[in-house]
Amino acid sequence: MSVLDILFYVFSAITLISALLMVVNPNAVNAAMAMIVAFVGTAALFVLLEAYFLAILQILVYAGAVMVLFLFIIMLLDVDRSEAEVAYKDKLAFAAAVIGFGLLVVLVAAAFLKGFYLPEPAVLPVAELPTGQAGGFAFTTSAKSFGYSLFTKYMLPFQVTGFLLLSAMIGVIVVSKKYSEDTK
């Protein structure tokens, strides 16, 4: 067993355990912190795959910006729940855990049954762009290639995601605003 295999198992365990702690933790702030550890573990797995650009993006965007936004939302909402809501949430969480565990058992059983094979996706050839062709850009693993794809082919989903985040932020501000008897 090589060092890379050991690192893969270590980072996979860290990611899975912190993801599990994130799901089962009743405290929202502690769950968000466990989510940050899961993001860092995922970034470490990207580094092992030599996808350094994705690892840096994982740390900067998800573990940095998105989690800071989540923590601000959690702290702004000041969640106070009634007993009926907590009981309903506990029942729903138990049902989701049972369904998830059942799906996990089916997946593991199916993976170890003889004659069961996961379908292999067809490998499509990559079309080579002729040099000097206007409007074309050969795909590489550089940041320039990612940026070109993001701001040309995937521009609409990128903009829609930005508007969704903006509307979510405005919604949190409206929900978290506390009205007093004096303001009308």
Q: Among residues 87, 110, 106, which one has the least CA distance to residue 98?
A: 106
**26 SS3 class:** coil
Helices within 113-154 (DSSP H only): 143-151
**116, pLDDT greater than 90:** no
Q: Which residues, 6+ apart, have CB-to-CB distance to 74 below 8 Å?
A: 28, 29, 32
Q: What's the average model confidence in pLDDT over 66-94? A: 71
Choosing among 1.20.120.1200, 1.10.3720.10, 3.20.20.150, 2.60.40.2580, the CATH entry for 1-78 is 1.20.120.1200
pTM for the full model?
0.53
Measured CA to CA, the distance from residue 47 to residue 54 in angstroms comes to 8
Domain with CATH 1.20.120.1200 in the chain: 1-78
Measured CA to CA, the distance from residue 90 to residue 64 in angstroms comes to 30
Average pLDDT, the chain: 77
Residue 1, burial from CB neighbour count under 10 angstroms (0-12, 13-18, 19+):
exposed
